[in-house]
Amino acid sequence: MHDFKPVYIERYKKLLGEEWDIFKEAIVTPFPSSFRINTLKGKRHEILKRLEDKGWKIKQVPFYSEGFCFTEKRDFVLGNTLEHFLGLVYIQETASMIPPAVLAPKPGELVLDLTAAPGSKTTQMAAMMENQGGIVANEKEIGRLASLRMNLQRCGVLNTVVTQMDGRAFKIIDMKFDKVLLDAPCTGTGTIMKSPHTIKTWSVKASQVMSGIQKQLIQSAVNVLKPGGTLVYSTCSLEPEEDEENIDYAIKKMGLKMEKIKLDGFKTRSGITSWENKEYDSEASKSIRVYPQDNNTEGFFVAKLVKE
C-alpha cells in the first residue's frame, strides 16, 4: 500500500474535494495496457486483422483511431511479441497519446519535439505526418538517445532528425517551426500507479523547482515557433505549479493564446484558475486535466497554445 505524505493528501483533497478517496483508489490500481498501431509499417485494417487473428481482445481509444487498449487480461508480454519487434505496434499509455493528437501535425509541416526520448510521441507524430515534412526530435540526456533512435528505427520513421542539447538552449537555433510539442520533464505525479517511488521523491519544492525549468523550456519553444504556429504543452504531473501556473506564464509573459481542447468520448476536466492564493489567467481553464479515476489511465495535463 502506498504511504502518502500528509502534504500530498492535503493538496489533493483541495484539488478534488470529496473525490479524494476515489482518486486514491485509482492511483494504486493497475490500468489496462494500451498501444498504438503503427501505420508507417502497414495499413490500419491489415494490422488490426493480424492482431484479431491472434486473439487479441482490444478496443479503440475514443479520441485516437490508431490507439487501443486491452479489454481483458492477456497471457503474453506485449513487448515480447513479434508485432512489437517489427514495429507494427508501439506500447504507449492512453493518456500519453493525447498531446500529439491535440497538436495534430500534418504531412509537410516542420515540427519540433523539444524533449523527445524515448520517442513515443515522436513516432506517433511521424505516423500522423505519413513520414512527410520534418520532425526535429531533441533530447538533453545522452543516455536516453539510444532508446529514441531505436524506437525511430523500429517504427520505420524517415522524416526525423535527432539532436542532443538542453531544450532551454534551443531558442538560439535559427529555425522556425510550424508546431512544437513540449512534453515537459516533470515530477510525474500522474504516473504513481506504475511508478510508486514517485510518491516518495515528490515534494512541493520539487514541483516549484521543476516549474522554473518548464518555464524556460516554454521560452525556447515560443522563440522557435512561427507566428500562427501551435504549441502543445503537456506533463504527466497533476501539480498546478507545473501545469496551470506555466500556462498563466505563457499567456501573460509570452503572449500566447489558448485554444480549447475537445476529446470525443474521453472525460477531461477544465484547468484550474486559482491555487493557494494565486490567481491564474481565466484562459487557463481551456487546458485539460486527465484524472486516473475518469478513464482508468495515467494522470495528464495538456494545453494547446497559439503564437500570434
Instruction: Per residue of the chain (308 residues), give pLDDT as tens.
Output: 467 889 999 999 999 999 999 999 999 888 899 999 999 999 999 999 999 999 999 999 999 999 999 999 899 999 999 999 999 999 999 999 999 999 999 999 999 999 999 999 999 999 999 999 999 999 999 999 999 999 999 999 999 999 999 999 998 899 999 999 999 999 999 999 888 888 888 999 999 999 999 999 999 999 999 999 999 999 999 999 999 999 999 999 999 999 999 999 999 999 999 999 999 999 999 999 999 999 999 999 999 999 99
What CATH topology corresponds to 6-18+95-306? Rossmann fold (3.40.50)
The residue among 92, 94, 137 whose CA lies nearest residue 115 is 137
> Which CATH code is given to the segment(s) 31-91?
3.30.70.1170
d(CA 47, CA 88): 7
Distance CA 114, CA 105 (A): 14
Which are the catalytic amino acids? 236
Domain coordinates of the chain in residue numbers? 6-18+95-306, 31-91
> Do 6-18+95-306 and 31-91 share a fold?
no
pTM over 0.95: yes
